[in-house]
Structure 1
Amino acid sequence: MIQQKTITIIGSGFSSLAAASYLAQSGHKVTVYEKNDSIGGRARQLKIDGFTFDMGPSWYWMPDVFERFFADFGKKTTDYYELIKLSPAYRVYFGVDEFIAIADNLPEIVATFESIEKGSGAVLEKFMLEAQSNYDIAIKDLVYRPGVSPLELITVETAKKVGQFFSNISRDVRNKFKNEKLIQILEFPVLFLGAKPSDTPSFYSFMNFADFGLGTWHPKTGMFDVVRGMESLAVELGVKFVTNAAIEKIIVENKTAKGIVVNGTEIYSDVVLSGADYHHTETLLEEQHRAYSEKYWDSRVFAPSSLLFYVGFNKKIQNISHHALFFDTDFYQHAKDIYDEPRWPDEPLFYANFPSLTDASAAPEGMESAFFLVPLAPGIEDTEALRNEYFDKIMDRFESLTQQEVRSSIIVKQSFCKNDFVSEYNSYKGNAYGMANTLLQTAFLRPKLKSNKVGNLYFSGQLTVPGPGVPPALISGKLVSELIDKQFSKA
Structure 2
Amino acid sequence: MSGERIVVIGGGIAGLASAALLARDGHRVTLLEALPTLGGRAGTWERRGFRFDTGPSWYLMPEVFDHFFRLFGTTVAAELELTTLDPGYRVYADGYDDPIDLRASRAENVALFESIEPGAGAALERYLDSAASTYDVARRRFLYTNFDDPRAFAAPEVLGSAGRLARLLATPLDRFAARSVRDRRLRQVLGYPAVFLGSSPSATPAMYHLMSHMDLEQGVLYPRGGFGVLIARIAEIAETAGVDLIVNAHVEAIELTDEPSPSVTGVRYRDVSGDEHRVTAHRVVSAADLHHTETELLPPAARTYPESWWERRTSGPGAVLAMLGVRGEVPALAHHTLFFTEDWSENFEQIFGADPRIPDPASFYVCKPSASDATVAPPGDTNLFILVPVPADVSIGRGGEDGGGDRLVEEAADRAIARIAEATGTPGIAARIVVRRTVGPADFAEDLNSWRGGALGPAHTLRQSAFLRGSNRSRRVRGLLYVGGSSVPGIGLPMCLISAENVLKRVRGDRSSGPLPEPAVTARSVELDRNAG
Determine if the TM-score, normalized by the shorter chain, exceeds 0.5: yes
Partner of 1:46: 45
Partner of 1:473: 496
Does 1:253 pair with 2:224? no
Stretch of structure 1 that moved more, 314-323 or 327-336: 327-336
Question: CA shift at 1:189, angstroms?
Answer: 1.5
Residues 128-147 of structure 1 show CA distances to partners (whole Å, capped at 9, x for unaligned) of 11110001011233100114
Partner of 2:210: 206
CA distance in 1, matches of 2:190, 2:466: 24
Residues 182-205 of structure 1 show CA distances to partners (whole Å, capped at 9, x for unaligned) of 100111122211122222222211
- In structure 1, give the amino acid aligned to 2:14: S
Judge conservation of contact 2:351–2:391 (CA < 8 Å) in 1: yes
| Matched ranges for 1:426-441 at <5 A | 426-441=449-464
Partner of 2:521: none
Judge conservation of contact 2:394–2:442 (CA < 8 Å) in 1: no
Partner of 2:418: 396
Question: CA shift at 1:62, angstroms?
Answer: 0.5
Partner of 2:88: 89
- In structure 2, give the amino acid aligned to 1:410: I
CA distance in 2, matches of 1:87, 1:279: 39
Partner of 2:288: 276
Question: CA shift at 1:362, angstroms?
Answer: 0.4
- In structure 2, give the amino acid aligned to 1:261: R
Question: CA shift at 1:150, angstroms?
Answer: 7.0
- The percentage of counterpart residues that share the same residue type is 35
Residues 283-328 of structure 1 show CA distances to partners (whole Å, capped at 9, x for unaligned) of 1111111111212112111111110001001111121100000114
Stretch of structure 1 that moved more, 285-294 or 144-153: 144-153
Residues 107-144 of structure 1 show CA distances to partners (whole Å, capped at 9, x for unaligned) of 11111100100011011111111110001011233100
The SS at the match of 2:140 is coil
CA distance in 2, matches of 1:39, 1:369: 22
Stretch of structure 1 that moved more, 58-67 or 442-451: 442-451
The SS at the match of 1:69 is helix
The SS at the match of 1:176 is coil
Question: CA shift at 1:267, angstroms?
Answer: 1.6
| Matched ranges for 1:241-320 at <5 A | 241-254=245-258, 255-263=262-270, 264-282=276-294, 283-320=296-333
- In structure 2, give the amino acid aligned to 1:352: V
Structure 1 residue ranges without an equivalent (≥5): none
Question: CA shift at 1:22, angstroms?
Answer: 1.1
Question: CA shift at 1:20, angstroms?
Answer: 0.9
The SS at the match of 1:366 is coil
Residues 345-400 of structure 1 show CA distances to partners (whole Å, capped at 9, x for unaligned) of 12111111111111111011121111111001112522311112112211221111
469, 477, 482: which is aligned to 2:505? Answer: 482
- In structure 2, give the amino acid aligned to 1:236: T
- In structure 2, give the amino acid aligned to 1:181: R
Query: What is the root-mean-square deviation in Å for CA atoms of aligned residues?
Result: 1.5
Residues 44-99 of structure 1 show CA distances to partners (whole Å, capped at 9, x for unaligned) of 11011111000000000010110011112221112211110101000000146411
Question: CA shift at 1:332, angstroms?
Answer: 1.6
Partner of 1:414: 437
Judge conservation of contact 2:341–2:361 (CA < 8 Å) in 1: no
Does 1:131 pair with 2:131? yes
Structure 2 residue ranges without an equivalent (≥5): 271-275, 398-405, 511-533
Partner of 1:369: 383
CA distance in 1, matches of 2:207, 2:279: 44
Stretch of structure 1 that moved more, 162-171 or 177-186: 162-171
Partner of 2:524: none
CA distance in 1, matches of 2:501, 2:482: 11
CA distance in 1, matches of 2:153, 2:206: 15
CA distance in 2, matches of 1:59, 1:440: 26
| Matched ranges for 1:323-402 at <5 A | 323-341=336-354, 342-383=356-397, 384-402=406-424
CA distance in 2, matches of 1:103, 1:113: 11
- In structure 2, give the amino acid aligned to 1:251: E
CA distance in 2, matches of 1:242, 1:51: 27
Judge conservation of contact 2:172–2:203 (CA < 8 Å) in 1: yes
Judge conservation of contact 1:22–1:481 (CA < 8 Å) in 2: yes
- In structure 2, give the amino acid aligned to 1:142: F
Q: TM-score, normalised by structure 2?
A: 0.89
- In structure 2, give the amino acid aligned to 1:55: T
Residues 396-420 of structure 1 show CA distances to partners (whole Å, capped at 9, x for unaligned) of 2111100112111000000111010
